Amino acid sequence: MEYLEFELPIKELEEQLQKCQVIGEESDVDVTETCKQIEKKLIATKKDIYKNLTPWQRVQMSRHPSRPYTLDYIKALFGDSFLELHGDRNVKDDKAMIGGLGKIGDQSFMIVGQQKGYNTKTRQYRNFGMANPEGYRKALRLMKSAEKFGIPVITLIDTPGAYPGLEAEERGQGEAIARNILEMTRLKVPIITIIIGEGASGGALGIGVGDKVLMLENTWYSVISPESCSSILWRSWEFKEQAAEALKLTASDMKKMKLVDQIIKEPLGGAHSDREKTFLAVRDAILKTHEELKNLSPKDLVNNRMDKYLDMGVFKG
């Protein structure tokens, strides 16, 4: 288990509890009461820390190395029914963008999402979750297939941004993202978008246009990352905490500004502390949202989606 800087008091108490339990097992001393007291203190400390997270700490939580990624959600929600589909029929298969068909119960879904790696080798293989233009074109190809067969779309967002390399720009990164945004606004099937980690910039928007946009509690969604914002405004990464505060990028900020529709609660300690509970919460949110959208006609779906995005940023004086 890895701990973030602000989680160190929790680490200390967990180590104390472990030692206490070991003493109890290896000797005749009754340590039940002591262990209970440490447990009580541990729960109180956890509540205190996680209830008062700053925007920057939430950004750190969204990047936690143990946090579940897109493939973890796919495995948990769709199991063996998931069939991965590859390639954009143009350049190649982008490993940073995962897509395919899967079933929850009897309902089929087309799932598209960014995938990060969990060690050096897989991070390189997945390009750190930063998709190239072919990744977005693959996503669009799959969404268009879903539309053809009347299958609802689920997109899972977790990216530090689209890949900004020279070759990505040469192959039309901006055009690929813009094309996705245009096509997603008029897709004739329900689109459920869930931010499961980082939601940065156009990289997130390229698969982020949905009838309902849901956010896990300890995630962020913004036009720029706090570090990049800090380096532009202050010419240094040292002000990333102030930048995170100013960007209003947390789930509660997004909900307040009506840029997302729902916040999915995470277990105490974040999504990685109890994966099963997180997967269950996401599954329930998907099924509930699909229930709300499934009886709408294609025309109503598109009209409602257009209205939803046109209303964003409207200021009534």
pLDDT score, position 212: 95
pLDDT score, position 201: 87
**Please, what's the b/e burial string for 116-132 (b: 16 or more CB within 10 A of its CB; e: otherwise)?**
bbeeeeeeeebbbbbbb
The closest of 98, 73, 158, 106 to 290, measured between CA atoms, is: 106
Cβ–Cβ < 8 Å for 191, 206: no
Whether pLDDT at 96 is above 90: yes
Mean pLDDT check: name the lowest of 24-38, 102-116, 152-166.
24-38
Beta bridge partners of residue 214, listed in sequence order: 194, 262
Q: Indicate the pLDDT class of residue 245, thresholds 50, 70 and 90.
A: very high
Q: Indicate the pLDDT class of residue 121, thresholds 50, 70 and 90.
A: very high
Residue 198 phi, psi (nearest 5): -90, 135
Q: What percent of the chain has pLDDT over 90?
A: 74
| Residue 137 to residue 97: CA distance in whole angstroms | 10
Q: Indicate the pLDDT class of residue 70, thresholds 50, 70 and 90.
A: very high
